[in-house]
Amino acid sequence: MGPVPELADRARSCADRLRQAESVLLASHIDADGLTSAAIAASALERAEIPTTVVFKNQLDDEEIASIAAREEETVLFTDFGSGQLDAISDHESRGDFEPIVVDHHQPADAETRYHLNPLLEGIDGASELSGAGACYLLARALEDDTDNRDLAGLAVVGAVGDMQASGGELVGTNRAIVDEGMAAGVLEERTDLALYGTQTRPLPKLLEYADRPRIPGVTGDQAGAIEFLESVGIQLKADGEWRRWVDLSMDERQSVVSALLKRGVNRGVSADSIDGLVGTTYTLAEEQPGTELRDASEFSTLLNATARYERADVGLAVCLGDRGDALARARRLLANHRRNLSEGLEWVRQQGVTLESNLQWFDAGDAIRETIVGIVAGMAFGTPGVKRDRPIVAFAEKSDTERKVSARGTPALVTQGLDLSDAIGAASRAVGGDGGGHDVAAGATIPTDQRMAFLDRLDAAIGEQIA
């Protein structure tokens, strides 16, 4: 029996169907969650001796589904997408083009199919309680034979963290059950620690300099300030001529830095609520080497995004499947490039600012930000001055001469007030001849460029109604 009784029946029927397949085409989404979804499902299928071919898609639109239908594989496993496109998928199913198995966590379209594993169908939140990779983990557990597949829990946590499902400070719901299994299997460790990005790989001063949620007065954005702060706590900054990293510190040293950071925040007027965000639950992949991007779930997920969002999903998949040679070296080079693009993108938003509407704020990056990362930049922009947290942010980037990619991000507080970006973006995009969907807190679409203002008007009105 798997870890989640509510979804066990769905997982079992998907697994039973897969066991009957001669071969499987696995189609997955090109982000960290999509990559880990594919890696988990492909590993489990391989262990079950079911031949599998993996393909990645930026988006599953009608054209992409048709290209999948044209292939010879009769059984198609969609992971981390597919639910939102069930209408188009079930059209192909009824024509006998393929038999779909959908393992996803996005808002389902108005259609059903026999083999559908999605937390939202059982009242489990697909934005915060289970990711695509987590859903694939449940499938893998249902497929188990000799090995029990619990070693795949680490990748499931990387997927969930990559989809920002731990943004409340820790993983909850079904994700929580998966963490417990991973710890029992010895592949995961969970601890309360400094909740800054880069504890494994960043030099200490950089780790603090880049802290932006919350911002630490005199430290954030100030390298000299960060160094001075660390020295004032008595931390030796270098060892053998190399910058020390957070992982290199003793527990006592970590404790002193955390206390001093909290004190600095309180003394300089950071609200108690936001200063609490400095400490959170971190997830460590116990079998990975300390001090590498793969050791920490959050750093691992960024490494994967750095491959998949630049047409190198093959590299990220190879890393997930265990390649610590060429693929990892390649992924690290892609990561350097991704980091540069993110910081340039954020800088662009800072310089250009956002336009405020009644119920949302937006910017159009044109071709200044790649459409595959504009959503990540939009999410990060919440931390920058000039961007409000009381309404969602909507970002546009050029997709083609005639089309704009839309990425929208909200906050958990706005969702509590009624925000459902998936619903609002889906309706507004379809009304102007585009299409979209996603989650309540994060959604995206493609629209005709000349419909941008009409789209924004509709979206603004829809969000106004949701939050009223």
Residues that bind Zn ion (CB under 5 A): 33, 80, 132, 163
Q: How far is the CB of 152 from Zn ion (least distance, A)?
A: 16
Instruction: Based on the shown chain and the rule CB under 6 A, indicate whether residue 164 belongs to the binding site for ligand C5P.
Output: yes
Q: How far is the CB of 84 from ligand C5P (least distance, A)?
A: 5
Nearer to ligand C5P, 102 or 442 (CB): 442
Which long-range contacts does 142-148 make (Cβ < 8 Å, 24+ apart)?
A: 142/2, 142/8, 142/11, 142/12, 142/14, 142/15, 143/15, 143/18, 143/19, 143/44, 143/45, 143/47, 143/48, 144/44, 145/47, 145/48, 146/47, 147/47, 148/185
Instruction: Based on the shown chain and the rule CB under 6 A, indicate whether residue 119 belongs to the binding site for ligand C5P.
Output: no
Instruction: Based on the shown chain and the rule CB under 6 A, indicate whether residue 318 belongs to the binding site for ligand C5P.
Output: no
Q: Which span (1-9, 158-166, 172-180, 189-197) binds ligand C5P, by CB under 6 A?
A: 158-166
Side chain identity, residue 142: A
Instruction: Based on the shown chain and the rule CB under 6 A, indicate whether residue 438 belongs to the binding site for ligand C5P.
Output: yes
Q: What is the spatial distance between Cα 264 and Cα 223, in angstroms, rounded to a whole number?
A: 16
Contacted by 164, from ligand C5P, Zn ion, none: CB < 5 to 8 Å by type: ligand C5P
Nearer to ligand C5P, 149 or 407 (CB): 407
Among 369, 410, 349, smallest CA distance to 127 is for 410
Token pair of 69, please?
Answer: 């239908």
**135 phi and psi angles, rounded to 5 deg:** -65, -40
Q: How far is the CB of 106 from Zn ion (least distance, A)?
A: 7
Instruction: Based on the shown chain and the rule CB under 6 A, indicate whether residue 155 belongs to the binding site for ligand C5P.
Output: no
Near ligand C5P by CB under 6 A: residue from 161, 360, 436, 466: 436
Catalogue the E-assigned strands of 317-402: 355-356, 361-364, 393-398
At 78 the three-state DSSP class reads strand
Instruction: Based on the shown chain and the rule CB under 6 A, indicate whether residue 152 belongs to the binding site for ligand C5P.
Output: no
Q: How far is the CB of 235 from Zn ion (least distance, A)?
A: 38
Q: How far is the CB of 429 from Zn ion (least distance, A)?
A: 19
Q: What is the spatial distance between Cα 198 and Cα 160, in angstroms, rounded to a whole number?
A: 17
Contacted by 414, from ligand C5P, Zn ion, none: CB < 5 to 8 Å by type: none
Instruction: Based on the shown chain and the rule CB under 6 A, indicate whether residue 175 belongs to the binding site for ligand C5P.
Output: no
Q: How far is the CB of 459 from ligand C5P (least distance, A)?
A: 14
Which long-range contacts does 117-126 make (Cβ < 8 Å, 24+ apart)?
A: 117/7, 117/10, 117/11, 117/14, 118/10, 118/83, 119/7, 119/174, 120/83, 121/10, 122/6, 122/7, 122/10, 123/6, 124/4, 124/6, 124/7, 124/173, 124/174, 125/173, 126/439
Residue number of the CB closest to Zn ion reads 33
Type and span of the H or E element at 176? helix 174-184
At 281 the three-state DSSP class reads strand
Give the x-and-dash track for 58-97 against ligand C5P (CB under 6 A).
Answer: -x--------------------xx--x-------------
Q: Which span (66-74, 161-169, 339-347, 356-364) binds ligand C5P, by CB under 6 A?
A: 161-169
What's the distance, CA 80 to chain centroid? 11
Among 456, 424, 460, 455, smallest CA distance to 439 is for 424
Q: How far is the CB of 107 from ligand C5P (least distance, A)?
A: 8
Instruction: Based on the shown chain and the rule CB under 6 A, indicate whether residue 295 belongs to the binding site for ligand C5P.
Output: no
Q: Footprint of ligand C5P on residues 323-352 (CB under 6 A)?
A: none
Q: What is the spatial distance between Cα 3 and Cα 174, in angstroms, rounded to a whole number?
A: 8
Among 97, 142, 96, smallest CA distance to 117 is for 142
Instruction: Based on the shown chain and the rule CB under 6 A, indicate whether residue 33 belongs to the binding site for ligand C5P.
Output: yes
Q: How far is the CB of 171 from ligand C5P (least distance, A)?
A: 11
Among 286, 195, 267, 194, smallest CA distance to 235 is for 194
Instruction: Based on the shown chain and the rule CB under 6 A, indicate whether residue 409 belongs to the binding site for ligand C5P.
Output: yes
Nearer to ligand C5P, 127 or 153 (CB): 127
Q: If you write DSSP's letter for every residue of 224-272 in order, what string do you get?
A: HHHHHHHHHTT---EETTEE-BGGGS-HHHHHHHHHHHHHHHHHTT--H
Q: How many residues bind ligand C5P (CB under 6 A)?
A: 29
Nearer to ligand C5P, 125 or 293 (CB): 125
Q: How far is the CB of 376 from ligand C5P (least distance, A)?
A: 6
Contacted by 445, from ligand C5P, Zn ion, none: CB < 5 to 8 Å by type: ligand C5P
Instruction: Based on the shown chain and the rule CB under 6 A, indicate whether residue 100 belongs to the binding site for ligand C5P.
Output: no
Tell me which residues touch ligand C5P (CB under 6 A).
29, 31, 33, 59, 80-81, 84, 106, 127-128, 163-165, 167, 375, 379, 407, 409, 435-439, 441-446
